[in-house]
Structure 1
Amino acid sequence: MRSDDEDEQRARDIALRVFAVVSTKWGLRVLEEIHADRRRFRELHRAVDGISYKVLTQTLRDLENHGLVARYDHGTANPRVDYSLTEAGTELVDAIHALCDWSRTHLDRLLDAPASRAAPRTSH
């Protein structure tokens, strides 16, 4: 039987692995697109501007392997695969949205923090 400390450490390790996948250049963008609605591969490729087929495939595999995305193969003659968020994936995107709400609430103070003043600002 595991102790509470072992369970906590295990949860932290899993969270760090999930955060590593989500914080890649494309991870969160793909999650956001799937969060809107179940998507097919080509729909995702069109929606996530600049991502290659290879990188989208790898990103979807990583998100699926971490339990955030579900892949459904319709098993038809013409390959048709849909991607949707799992319950964990939906809750993670909701938590990220809550973090964005938090940052908007505290934006003035966060921008005045020493770390924000030292970081170069980028424009998009």
Structure 2
Amino acid sequence: MTDFAAVLRPGGLLLIQKRNFDAIMRDRVRWMGPQSHHEGDREWLFVRFYDFNPDGTLTLNIVTLRRDEAGEWTQQVEATALRPLLHAELSSAITAAGFGDLACYGDMTGVPFDPETSGNLIVTAMNE
């Protein structure tokens, strides 16, 4: 967070959007809903899921299915290691970096953040 503070001018807005890892880790929510994208006759399907590792980290797996103009499907699998940052840890790090006016929301419309039910964590803070 100190790097963010270093590049934002005083009064600059910090905006962070991320998954609600409090709920994901507590409930061990493995699967995210599939997403699709179309361009003409081409189509992409994205299937995302987590593996919960013994050390408390996650592996984010992304399966991409792609249909070309001829209707042929190909697939690709990628995996990325994640360290889930929980609400309290993130808020503490933001405050410790010198940000003020910290606010947390459950989505981009400004619904209050609920660690039990929110799908996302949106954090705003001002660089002081």
Q: Which TM bucket (shorter chain)?
A: under 0.3
Higher relative contact order (CA 8 A, sep 6+): 2
Kindly indicate which of the two structures has a greater share of residues assigned to helix.
Answer: 1
Kindly indicate which of the two structures has a greater share of residues assigned to strand.
Answer: 2
